[in-house]
Amino acid sequence: MSLPRLLIVDDTAANIDLLRETLAPVNCLLSIATDGERALTLAHRSLPQLILLDVMMPGLDGFEVCRRLRRNPDFNHTSIIFVTARTEDVSAGFEAGGDDYITKPINASEVLARVRHHLEKAELLRALNELNDTLETKVQERTIALAETNKKLQDEIEERRYMQGRMQYFATHDSVTHLYNRTALVEKVSNLITDVQLYRRDVIFVLMDIEQFQLISESCGCIAGDALLKQFADLVNDACTSEMFFARIGGDNFALVCENSTPEEVEIFAKKVVTIVGAYKFSWENRIFEISTTVAIVPLSQEILAYDQVMLVADEMSYIAKRESANGIKRYQPSHTESPNARNYTINWALKLVDSLKHDLFELWFQKISALPSTSKAIESETSTERPQDKLEILLRLFDPETQKIIQPDSFIPASERLNLIPHIDRWVINQTAKYLSENVAQFKNVKNVSINLSAASMRDTQMTDYITFTLNTYNIPASKICFELTETEAIADISLAKRFLETLSRHGCSLALDDFGSGYASFNYLRDLPFDTVKIDGVFVRDMDKNPSYRALVKSITEIAHGFGKEVVAEYVENKTVLEAVKALNIEWAQGYHYHKPHRLNKDNMNKAFQTKHIQTSDHQLNAKK
């Protein structure tokens, strides 16, 4: 029997050496790849039974390598274990097609246990395939002697059935808790969603997790974490009825599917589970831990059409339960609406945003950014008789077909960020903007550039710069015509990553602007370390700088510092002539606000009107319709 093949994929030599040393007791043939492309080449050449796959690598990351392998039927039975230091990579790894995960820094016992488990699984599959290949031949050869060999043949058939049963078990059950796994759960929920649509059956989905799992796993090790998962599963399973479908989704997330039960009955059951778990003490190496669970209850309804929608709503319910109290239980009620000031988004955003992307319910709006002729930079390369070219900023709105109204970004952007949909929305805006520019070339001849807002989260999308350059090339849009504004809704966690991202766009020819400077997370280090061309001063300070001397001093300081770094400055929320004169006095190059232009939907008529009119008058109390 040939030795099993194992492929280690990691771009760090120290990690490879550590894994190689850890796996020394395992009798297998090791191959090494230091990047995604090399991993794909070696995998196709050697067809390994098991791949240990790092997540963060240059070029193709681990998730993309996994997805490409899963598209090839040759790797249907290859086990893929992600090796990652980030807990948020675990669910993404399972979604990409991974079978298991190992956390960094690695625990030798955990690595050996997981690797041996998957190699045993591969050996069972190999044995099953060999048996299937030979069994038909044996049947033909022994047909004549069927009477005397029937007993032996029946034994072999039973053996095959046993092995097939074991393989089916591995395919639908979790190896740690022995509960149903995510694959079985998705199939179960998908079938029940169909039943709810056709027959209006009563089905309740319940999401549970272990609040202390990360604490115990990190302080006591992954073996302790697995023990906690098994004990938690046993506690809940003992409380379940025969009609309940109990599964482990991954990590410390578990799901219950309750049929023919009312939400009130499930809520009573959830309270029972919370009490049982709360009374249990987890013991490990003379340490005692109290544990608790958060429960989200989601009745399936006619509005829920897919498993992903169920998980979005359940995850949001769990998030609210955690915020409200420990041992929280939160039940989804579609008719429930929260006041606008209670939270920045409602539960319904999970479904609304998915549908909006699918059905193109987002809309592009725009607002002019006007050059101030009195400043030298704004009129650079212009004759004294010509007005400088203005810019425009692309804004995003959402059309709600239920109310037939436009929803402003401050209502849906926070939910988009929390649900990790904001990079998808950014891509939609980039594509739609480039498409409009390509279809209306004449309108943009006298526009200096077009600004598109880009979230900080999109900088972590390793494919985003490639997508931007591909889109601009596809629509034949000069990169110099595009300015990307970084929206500071969260701090830039990795300055070096941000610098590489922005420098790539800058080398391609795009302009870069730092938006809402002066508030939020923006810092002066961004001006020094990141290649921004323009600084946009937060309009909260600009709007009242004619009335508040401290605001004027702050705007003046930001302007001087930005100019010291060689950056142009845009003043936002310029709403009247008095503020405009104060802005001009500070030698600010650009002004944006209702004094010049009120945002409108992006179309030919609105564009023609906007760039034929100098400005519109508004009251001092109007606010900009910002992103």
Strand partners, 6: 30, 50
- What span, in angstroms and rounded, lies between the C-alpha atoms of 592 and 76? 56
**What pLDDT is recorded for position 188?**
92
Percent of residues, the chain, with pLDDT higher than 70: 89
Q: Is the dihedral of CA 384, 386, 391, 392 positive or negative?
A: positive
Helix ranges restricted to H, 486-624: 495-508, 524-529, 539-542, 549-564, 577-585, 604-610
Q: Is the dihedral of CA 373, 374, 377, 380 positive or negative?
A: positive
> Which residue did the predictor score with more confidence, 406 or 138?
406
CATH number of 5-133: 3.40.50.2300
- What span, in angstroms and rounded, lies between the C-alpha atoms of 26 and 118? 12
pLDDT of residue 450 exceeding 70:
yes
> Which residue did the predictor score with more confidence, 354 or 205?
205
Selection from 504, 604, 583 nearest residue 539 by Cα: 583
**What pLDDT is recorded for position 620?**
37
Selection from 54, 27, 31 nearest residue 42 by Cα: 31
Q: Which helix (H) or strand (E) holds 170?
A: helix 146-172
Q: Return the domain boundaries, the chain.
A: 5-133, 182-331, 361-610
**What pLDDT is recorded for position 617?**
42
- What span, in angstroms and rounded, lies between the C-alpha atoms of 59 and 463? 9
**Mean pLDDT confidence for 581-591:** 93
> Which residue did the predictor score with more confidence, 492 or 29?
29
Are the C-beta atoms of 571 and 537 separated by less than 8 Å? Answer: yes
Q: Is the dihedral of CA 353, 514, 467, 366 positive or negative?
A: positive
**Mean pLDDT confidence for 586-612:** 89
The per-residue pLDDT of the chain, averaged, comes to 84
**What pLDDT is recorded for position 385?**
47
Strand partners, 244: 258
**Banded pLDDT at 516 (limits 50, 70, 90):** confident
Q: What is the pLDDT of residues 408-419, one digit of tens each?
A: 888 888 778 777
pLDDT of residue 232 exceeding 90:
yes
Strand partners, 450: 392, 482
Neighbours of 30 (CB within 10 A): 17
**What pLDDT is recorded for position 519?**
67
Q: What is the pLDDT of residues 324-345, one digit of tens each?
A: 765 689 898 865 444 333 343 3
> Which residue did the predictor score with more confidence, 472 or 156?
472
- What span, in angstroms and rounded, lies between the C-alpha atoms of 291 and 510? 52
Q: What is the DSSP letter of 383?
A: -
**Banded pLDDT at 91 (limits 50, 70, 90):** confident
**Mean pLDDT confidence for 591-601:** 92
**What pLDDT is recorded for position 456?**
81
CB-count exposure of residue 496 (10 Å: 0-12, 13-18, 19+): exposed
Could you tell me the CATH superfamily of domain 361-610?
EAL domain (3.20.20.450)
pLDDT of residue 544 exceeding 60:
yes
pLDDT of residue 266 exceeding 90:
yes
Are the C-beta atoms of 620 and 595 separated by less than 8 Å? Answer: no
Selection from 608, 597, 480, 595 nearest residue 546 by Cα: 595
- What span, in angstroms and rounded, lies between the C-alpha atoms of 86 and 84? 6
**Mean pLDDT confidence for 228-257:** 93
**What pLDDT is recorded for position 325?**
67
**Mean pLDDT confidence for 193-205:** 88
> Which residue did the predictor score with more confidence, 417 or 575?
575
Helix ranges restricted to H, 173-243: 182-199, 213-220, 222-239
**What pLDDT is recorded for position 613?**
52
Q: Which helix (H) or strand (E) holds 400?
A: strand 390-400
Confidence (pTM): 0.52
**Banded pLDDT at 491 (limits 50, 70, 90):** low
Q: Is the dihedral of CA 500, 506, 510, 515 positive or negative?
A: positive
**What pLDDT is recorded for position 383?**
45
Q: Residue 48: left if φ>0, alpha if ψ -120 to 50, beta else—which one?
A: beta
pLDDT of residue 377 exceeding 70:
no
**What pLDDT is recorded for position 161?**
78
String of b and e for 259-269 (b: at least 16 CB within 10 Å)? eebebeebbeb
Show the CA angle centred on residue 18, arms to residues 14 and 22, nearest 5°: 170
Selection from 368, 374, 369 nearest residue 581 by Cα: 374
Q: Does domain 182-331 have CATH number 2.30.30.40?
A: no
**Mean pLDDT confidence for 305-312:** 85
**What pLDDT is recorded for position 374?**
58
Three-state DSSP state, 622: coil
**Mean pLDDT confidence for 588-603:** 92
